[in-house]
C-alpha cells in the first residue's frame, strides 16, 4: 500500500461536549495546546509526514477558528498540486449527529477521491505517530480493517470506551463497548481506523439501512465478517476527553522526555506561523520550568506554566501551574495557581485565583476578571 493511496478523514468535533468550556467558541481540534499549537496540528502533521497528501476535516459547528488556523494547508505541506486539505461542513440543513451519519452524508467526497483507502482519525489525540508502519502492517496481514490502539488506563472522560482483545499475530478477537471494571490497563481504540474505501462505504450504507448509527457497535458487528487487525501505538499518546485531561497534558509538556518524543526532528509538528518578536523578560522577572511562546512580555514570576503568544505578565504577578492562552494580560500583583485562561482575557491588578490540580479554574475567552 502506498501512503498516497490513503485519504485522511479527521473528525474535528471529537468529544466537543466533554470540554464545553474550551469548545464553546471553537471545535475540539482547534483548541490551543503547548503554547503555540492546536490539537489538529498533530494529526495533520502525522498524516503529512507519512505521505498522506489528501485530507478532509469534518467540522459540524464552531469551525471558523479551525478554518483560520489550518487555512489552505500550506503549513502542513498539503496545498501543493498533488495534495489537498478540505474543511467539510454541514450543508442543505443536514446535521452530523454521529459518525455513521457523518460519513454517509460525505459519501460523495469519499467516492470521488482518487485514493483506495481511508484513514479515519479523531481530532482530540496528541501523539507523534508514523502511519507508514500502520500501512505496512495492514498490507502484510491482508487486513480488511486495522484499528490503532493504545495500551493504558482509559481517560476519565470516556464514558463508552472502545477496547479490544488482540491475539499474538495482531488479529482482533473481541471488541468491547463500555466494559466494566476498567481501572487497569486495556487496549483502547481512540478512533484511528484504516479501511478500504469501498468496504467503508458499503458498511456505512448497510448501517444506515438497518438504523445502526452507533459506530462502536458497528465495529463490533463487523468483527465476525471481516479480517480485523490491530496496530499498537507504542509512543506517547494523550487523548483530551475532559478539562482535567487538557490540564494534565499541558503539564506533561514540562517533562523533557515527553517533549523529546512529541517534537521529533525527523517527524516535525507543523502549525500556523505567527510572526511575533522574541519574548522580553524584565529585570525582576523569574521563570522556572515553563514554556513561554514568542511575543510575550514577562515582568512577574512564572513557574510550571504554559504561556502562549503575546501574553503580558505585569510586575508583582505570580503564576504557578497555569495555562495562559494568547494575547492575555495579567495585571500587577496578581496571584494565580491552577488556572486555565483562554484567549484575550484581562486579569485586573491584585486579583487572586486559586484552583486545584484536580479542579483547575477556567476563565472564558475575552473575560475581564
Identify the CATH class of 3-262.
Answer: alpha beta
> For cell 499475530, what's the residue?
169
Identify the CATH class of 280-363.
Answer: mainly beta
Q: What is residue 94's predicted lDDT score, i.e. its pLDDT?
A: 65
Q: What is residue 23's predicted lDDT score, i.e. its pLDDT?
A: 93
Q: Tell me which residue of 96, 87, 144 sits closest to 118, measured CA to CA.
A: 144
* Cell matching residue 14: 471529537
Per-residue pLDDT of the chain (369 residues; tens, 9 = 90+): 676 799 999 999 988 889 999 999 999 999 999 999 999 999 999 999 999 999 999 988 889 999 999 999 999 999 877 789 999 988 765 667 789 999 998 999 999 999 999 999 999 999 999 999 999 999 999 999 999 999 998 887 787 889 999 999 999 999 998 776 577 889 999 999 999 999 999 999 999 999 988 899 999 999 989 999 999 999 999 999 999 999 999 999 999 999 999 998 899 999 998 888 999 999 999 999 999 999 999 999 999 999 999 999 999 999 999 999 999 999 999 999 999 999 999 999 999 999 999 999 999 999 999
What is the DSSP secondary-structure string of 163-198? EEEE-TTSBEEEEEES-S---S-EEEEEEEEEEEHH
Q: What is residue 180's predicted lDDT score, i.e. its pLDDT?
A: 64
Q: Tell me which residue of 284, 300, 302, 283 sits closest to 292, measured CA to CA.
A: 302
pTM: 0.94
Round to whole Å and give the CA distance between 7 and 11.
Answer: 13
DSSP state of 290: -
Q: Is 265 exposed, middle or buried (0-12, 13-18, 19+ CB in 10 A)?
A: exposed
> How do 339-341 and 361-363 pair as beta strands?
parallel
DSSP state of 346: E
Q: Is 190 left (phi over 0), alpha (psi -120 to 50) or beta?
A: alpha
- Phi/psi at 301 (5° precision): -110, 130
Domain segments of the chain as ranges:
3-262, 280-363
Q: What is residue 173's predicted lDDT score, i.e. its pLDDT?
A: 95
Amino acid at each position: 500500500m502506498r501512503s498516497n493511496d490513503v485519504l485522511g478523514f479527521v473528525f474535528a468535533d471529537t468529544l466537543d461536549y466533554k470540554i464545553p468550556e474550551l469548545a464553546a467558541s471553537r471545535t475540539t481540534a482547534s483548541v490551543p495546546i503547548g503554547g503555540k499549537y492546536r490539537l489538529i496540528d498533530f494529526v495533520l502533521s502525522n498524516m503529512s509526514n507519512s505521505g498522506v497528501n489528501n485530507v478532509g476535516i469534518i467540522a459540524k459547528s464552531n469551525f471558523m477558528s479551525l478554518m483560520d488556523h489550518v487555512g489552505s494547508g500550506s503549513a502542513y505541506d498539503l496545498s501543493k498540486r498533488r495534495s489537498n486539505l478540505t474543511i467539510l461542513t454541514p450543508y442543505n440543513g443536514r446535521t452530523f449527529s454521529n459518525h455513521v451519519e457523518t460519513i454517509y452524508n460525505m459519501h460523495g467526497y469519499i467516492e470521488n477521491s482518487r485514493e483506495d483507502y481511508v484513514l479515519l482519525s479523531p481530532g482530540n489525540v496528541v501523539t507523534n505517530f508514523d502511519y507508514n508502519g500502520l500501512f505496512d502492517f495492514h498490507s502484510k496481514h491482508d487486513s480488511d480493517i486495522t484499528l490503532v490502539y493504545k495500551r493504558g488506563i482509559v481517560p476519565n472522560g470516556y464514558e463508552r470506551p472502545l477496547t479490544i482483545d488482540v491475539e499474538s499475530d495482531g488479529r482482533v478477537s473481541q471488541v468491547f463497548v463500555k466494559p466494566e471494571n476498567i481501572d487497569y490497563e486495556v487496549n483502547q481504540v481512540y478512533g484511528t481506523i484504516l479501511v478500504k474505501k469501498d468496504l467503508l462505504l458499503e458498511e456505512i450504507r448497510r448501517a444506515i439501512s438497518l438504523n445502526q448509527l452507533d459506530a462502536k457497535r458497528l465495529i463490533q458487528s463487523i468483527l465476525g465478517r471481516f479480517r480485523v487487525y490491530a496496530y499498537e501505538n507504542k509512543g506517547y499518546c494523550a487523548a483530551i476527553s475532559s478539562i482535567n485531561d487538557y490540564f494534565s497534558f499541558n503539564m506533561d509538556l514540562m517533562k523533557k522526555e515527553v517533549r523529546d518524543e512529541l517534537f521529533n526532528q525527523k517527524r516535525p509538528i507543523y502549525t500556523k506561523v505567527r510572526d511575533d518578536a522574541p519574548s522580553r523578560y524584565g529585570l525582576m522577572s523569574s521563570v522556572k520550568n515553563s514554556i513561554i511562546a514568542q511575543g510575550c512580555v514577562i515582568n512577574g514570576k512564572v513557574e510550571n506554566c504554559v504561556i502562549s503568544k503575546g501574553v503580558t505578565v505585569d510586575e508583582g504577578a505570580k503564576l504557578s501551574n497555569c495555562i495562559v492562552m494568547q494575547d492575555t494580560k495579567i495585571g500587577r500583583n496578581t496571584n494565580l495557581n491552577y488556572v486555565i485562561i483562554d484567549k484575550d482575557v484581562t486579569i485586573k491588578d491584585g486579583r487572586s485565583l486559586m484552583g486545584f490540580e484536580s479542579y483547575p479554574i477556567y476563565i472564558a475567552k475575552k473575560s475581564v476578571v
